[in-house]
Amino acid sequence: MNKTLLAALLPLFVVGCAATPDKTALQAQGISVDGASTVAFRSVRVEGTTLQGSLKRIGRNPVHFGHLDYTVTDASGKTLQSEQTDYSGAIKQRRSPNASRFSIPLKQAWQPGVHRASIVWHDQPHQP
C-alpha cells in the first residue's frame, strides 16, 4: 500500500520541483511577476534594454480586459521607471493556443544585482 501511494505521488513532487527553477531564476535576475488567476507569465527575460515575455491564458475563456503594471527600481528601492503597458491581444481570442507577448523598453541598461523589476497583471481595463 505504501509503495503504491509513493509511486502515485512521486510524479507530483517531480512536477512541483521542475516548476520551481523558473521562478528562482527570475528572482536571481531581480524580476518578480504576479498574475491574477486568469493569466500566467512565460519566458520573462531581459534582452539588452528590453524586458520581455509572454502571457498565457490559464482557463478556457478569453481574457476581455487587463493590463500590465511594471516598476523598475534600483538596489536602494528608488523607482527608476513605473508605467502601464499593453500586450498583444492573442489571449483575448477564445481558442488561440498562442501566448500574448509583451515588450517593455527600459530607460537604462539592465544591471543584474542592481536593478529590480516587478510586473503585475490586473484584470481591469487600462486606466490613463
Domain ranges in the chain are 2-122
Distance CA 70, CA 10 (A): 37
Which has the minimum average pLDDT: 21-25, 33-37, 64-68? 21-25
How high is the pLDDT of residue 105? 93
CA dihedral for 64, 101, 120, 60, sign (positive or negative): positive
C-alpha cell at 26: 527570475
Domain 2-122 sits in CATH at 2.60.40
Comparing 37 with 107, the larger pLDDT belongs to 107
pTM for the whole structure: 0.69
